[in-house]
Structure 1
Amino acid sequence: ALVNKNESLTNVQRFYYLKSALKGEAAHLLNSLEVTDANYNIAWNLLKERYENRKLIISTHIKSIFELPLVLKDSHKSLRSLIDNFNKHLRSLKNLELPTDKWDILLIYILVNKLDTTSKHEWEKSSVNNSDLPSLADLLKFLVDRCQILENMSGDDLSKQLLHKRSTMNHLAINNSTITKCPYCKGDHMLFRCSEFLKLSVPNRWNEVKKLKLCTNCFRSNHFNNECRGSYCRKCNRNHNTVLHNNSNDRSQADSTSSTAPKENPTLRRDTQEFRTQSQTHLVANTTETIITTHSFCPEKYVVLSTATINIKGEMGKLVSCRALLDSGSQSNFITAELVQKLGLTGSKINMEVSGVDKSTTNINKRVTTEISSLFNNFRHELGFLVLRDITGNVPINNIAIDNLKLPHDINLADHEFHISRKVDVLLGAGIFWNLLRIGQIKLSNHNAMLQKTVLGWVFAGSINCNTNDEVQALHSSNVDVQDQLEKFWSIEECEAQRDFTNEEIYCESHFTSTFKRDSNGRFVVRLPMRDN
């Protein structure tokens, strides 16, 4: 509006500003208009005719206020989201010159009923002694203050969790650590931090560990090497401490001088990391055989799969636009690993096998949960997705000519570029597919295709005539490399590397081990550690 009223600009300049500010359906509406002085007013009137529906805009904002999600958990994040969304729609109604300042009683009732039980109780308690009716400003101030309180409390809870975690670590030290001093120089430090020990050559370090009868992995004396559950070498992933790592020549020499050093063994054993390293050595020869059959083929009809452009929520609440394939024949929803990384989603590790056509199987090792939403309305839905590297090839296989389809210009296409061969980021399965459909179909003449109305927009579906002279299909038959399957298994089972403790944490562990005792009730009693200053 500011650009439109700026008298220093020409209509051509205004038109350029207008087109640069549009995207999606609105931009598509003006694609046929050239940037000229005369066309600016035509473009402006087209947009006003399409989108300046005051009644619909007001109804949409009021409906959004009534349909604000319930706050199910006493959380500052949920409350802030409720406040922000409520204020957004209320400001829009004020800008439309509606008397929202007279709606306090109604808006308070709606907003309070969206709160969790604890927040409702606190609100009633804060206003019970007030004989006057509370205002909307009072409620919003109460909610902002409550968000601040909950946020401060969540910080305290985090500190308690960290304290509990460290306390648990100290309790475990009773069973796992009986040596608090260096067994090599008798100093007050661990062996892997001993400067005298680190001055030795790697073969001599192996010999010293053998003389001291220590585990070559964690440097403790209460178990054998093949029973150790500690972390492995960070350089080669073998079952020894990182300070004992050496190149292949020195390592062979060390292996010959130490019976406790790990040896190559092709059989499966508990030492999963060692087996993984060996499998990488012994399975190198297992190459993948691929048979490729290529031939020209042109079917009379080409079936177009239904796609839609949707918004998907990232880790920090940011919405990212992506392309979704609608598949009523899939029991699960899928998402590409590339999009998961872009969204910053962490997810959870799983071990699942998904079967497809001709009983072909794919192993899945990650699952994420996030929210999808429509570009054209308030539809939102939380879904679980299985993570794949690639869902399918480009859809469609080749670009499709749509000049003779005679698509209506007054509808919102779910995917404006459904005819362009592009990758798919998300697959929406049968669990959500039927909930997306709405009443409404448009048959396209001279084609076995139609437009189906959904909450994501109108999707193109069906088959069209094949106008290409030559289409190439490549059929691949592949024997899966055993090494790939093993790597997927290890990615599920692999534990995180153990981190190094600080000097203060080591002191706390030592202090606990040396001062704890049990009282007459069986409880642990330990002296509080105090700093020197």
Structure 2
Amino acid sequence: MPTLDNFHSFLKGRADVLETVQRNKQDKSFKRQTDAPVLPQRPKPSLPSVKTFMAQTSEPSGSKPLQCVSCGGEHRIFDCASFKAKSSEDRLAQANTLKLCHNCLRLGHDVRRCRLPGSCRSCKQRHNTLLHQETGPSEDAIQVNLSKLNLPTPSKGLLATALVNLVNPTTKKVVTARCFLDNGCESSFITQDIKQRLGLTSITPNDLTQNLEGVCDIEVRIKVDRCILEIQSLRSSFSAILTCTVLPQITKPIPKVSYDVSHLNLAPFELADPNFNQSSPIDILVGSDLFWDILGSQQQSLGDGNPKLRSSKLGWIVVGPNQQFIQSNSTIRCNLARTSDLHDELAKFWELESLPHKKQALTEQERLCEQSFIATTERSDDGRFIVKLPLKDGPDCLGDSYTAAKKRFLHLERRFRKQPEVKERYSKFIHEYEELGHLSPSTIPRPPNAFFLPHHPVIKEKVSLLNCGLSLTRLRALPLDSL
């Protein structure tokens, strides 16, 4: 009785025969349609169809035996034990390196031209089951500025990376690091390893924590550790001082898998990251605080479906779509970090409203402000507080407002001579203003270092309770920070 291994071998042989026969039929049919003229065919008598499920194959003379493109053994790659023992990411990377079809794992064509029907048994997508990438959520899938979205998208883009020099501003120690440029991130980050290699010192308290938010409002509570460093370009004289938050890991290696770029014409360009196609870890993430100072305005195309070249002060950056990413992995990376936290904002509000537990050291300006408040603050009999408005600068900053105010006053006198009823209402209102204590006559005709506010009446005939009002017009607008 045949064993299960014999039955399995029979099925594989049968599948190979059917694939070969089907391909030959399609090739012959296409050749007859293009070369031979179309002739009328005679009707053939219908015969009963007979099906057989027996097949016998023999190797033609002079044919080469099967050879695995992975290990060189006499078997196909999907039967290779060493290929199956690798992880799905490594199998996908090797398939890209060997330029194998992602559907049938054979040479000579890509997945778009593959004639073999079938799909992945796990996700039903157009690729071999051995190349399937798991997309389920895991604990390490949520990173500080990395979220994963499982979307049915046909292609992906290449993220911007560059090689830079990181310098310790104090010791001038230099380390070459791989930089990720991300304008979707509000802050810049470095890894803990870079901080230790440069010997950077922290500028934040040890007990300070903060929330980082990503896509879908995913929050990660981290201990805030910020350092100051200098970033320098390897291609130009550009350098900048940057404050970065320290994280154990910024993101997983970018790109996720390595791929071949020999078909791209990159020789004439001085790339910011010569190994942009190799999967490597990220040491520093430059966010929107410096991104737009680095990015240039020139752009070069490498052809349809290929990445774009964008100029920058770090060199030419390779970004955009990549054909080799199609159907390679269903994980999309979206980098976003936001450092706002409602809980922290409420905590700061209550700290401002509560009394301080210990007296804090005041600056010179704060000390003068407190002394002025204590010396000039009074309380009237009706319970109101009267506080003198101090000047930040000297009284000379008020300038000359007497001339303009006198000119407006003389214009008002001429108007009163023409409109006696307006003068009567205006005088009545001024006396009422004085009785209420809102003004008092000056004992000095022209006080020194004073600011004069010109005024004029505003008549509203339809208002019965108040027929005349006072409008104070400031001819010279003082900036608020000067008072």
**Band of TM-score, shorter chain:** 0.3 to 0.5
Give the structure with higher Rg (CA): 2
Structure that is richer in helix per residue = 1
TM-score, normalised relative to structure 2: 0.36
